[in-house]
Amino acid sequence: MTKREMEAMLSTQISSDSKPVRARTAIPPPIFNESSSSSSSSNVFDPAVLEDCAVEDDGLASFGGHGTLEILRLIRVLEENGACCCVTGTSALIYYGADRHRNAWEICLPTEQLEDAKRLLMSPPYKHEYTLIRTPSVTQPQSLAHIYPRFKCVGLDLSFQLLPSQDCHFECKPSNFQRSHNGLPYPRLHVFVQSLLDTHNLVALCDVVDGTNVSEEWGFSNLDLSGTNDVDWALWKNRAIRDSDQSMRLFGVTTAAYSRQETWEKIVRGKEERLGFKHPKEIFATRFRLHGSADPWLTYRKAA
C-alpha cells in the first residue's frame, strides 16, 4: 500500500471519538490470547532479521514526516489482532503540549503481549510493511530502549518502538486511554502524569505540567499524592539495565524515596522559574503555553 493510498483511505475515517476501523488488508486470526506463548524469548539482535535503519531512498511519512497516519494504521493492526495498545513517551508529551522532538514513536502494550506483537509484525502480511531494525548501539542512561523491539515502516523514514507496560508504569487498558482528533490512543492525562510521578521522571513531568498548565489543585483532585515514588519499580529497572549491559550498572534510575506530594508541589510551583528570559511572563503562562491558549489535546494537530 502506497502512502498516497493510505492517506486517502484513513483520512476520511478519522474522528476524535472513532473506534478502530477494520483495515482492508487481510488480517489473520487474533494471536493475543491466554494460550499464546508470550513468555517465550527471542533475540531482537538476530542479524538474520535485523536491518539498518538508514535507507537513502526512504520516502516522507504522512503529514510532513510526522507519520501520524502510518501509526494509526499500526494501532489498528494491533487492535484488530486482539492487542491493547496506546501511544506514549515523547509522543504523549507532544500530545499534551510539550515542545519535544520525536525520533521514534513509542507504543505501549501489556507486558505479556509484547513478544506476540513483535512476532505479529514480523509475520505475513505485515512483514512487508514493517522491518525489525537495530536499536541504538549506545545504551542510554536510565533506559531499556536498547532491549525493546524497534521497527521501521518499509520505504518510509519512520520508526517506532514497542514498550512493555511494566516499563511505562501504567496499566495498558482501554479505560486508561483517550483518542486524539486523528484517532490515536494516548494515556489519559491523570494516568500519564501519575506514571511520571511514580517513576520520578522529573524532566518529563516538568514538560507535561508546562504543556498542560495544570494547577496544583488539579493534582490533589486527580492524582495519588500519598507516599513516595515507586522504589520497587526503580529497583526492577536497575536490575534489568544491569543485566542487559554491565557497563551501565552505575547509570540507573534513582532508588531514593521522594514524597509524591512534595515533588508535585515543587514541579507545579516551578512553572514561572522555568520560563527563563526567552518567555516573558506577561505573554507566557508556561514555557509551552500562552496566556489564554486552548488546551493542545483539544485542538486538531497533525503531529498527534
Instruction: Choose the weakest-confidence range: 129-133, 164-168, 231-235, 243-247.
Output: 243-247
pTM reported for the whole predicted model: 0.84
Is residue 105 within 8 A of residue 70, CB to CB? The reply is no
Assess whether pLDDT exceeds 60 at residue 1: no
β strands within the chain, DSSP E: 86-88, 105-109, 130-133, 150-153, 159-164, 177-179, 185-187
* The predicted structure's pLDDT at residue 249: 73
Calpha distance 130→145 (Å, rounded):
18
**What cell was used for 78?**
494491533
DSSP-derived secondary structure letter, 33: S
Of the listed ranges 30-34, 137-141, 270-274, the one predicted with least confidence: 30-34
Using the predicted structure, report yes or no on whether residue 164 has a pLDDT greater than 90.
Answer: yes
pLDDT, tens digit (0-9, with 9 covering 90-100), for 75-125: 999 999 999 999 999 999 999 999 999 999 999 999 999 999 999 999 999
Question: What is d(CA 142, CA 293) in angstroms, rounded to the nearest whole number?
Answer: 34
For residue 182, give the nearest of 31, 274, 280, 299 by alpha carbon.
Answer: 299
What pLDDT is recorded for position 95?
Answer: 98
Contacts of 124 (CB under 8 A, 6+ apart): none
Higher pLDDT, 82 or 50: 82
How far apart are the C-alpha atoms of 24 and 73, rounded to whole Å?
A: 11
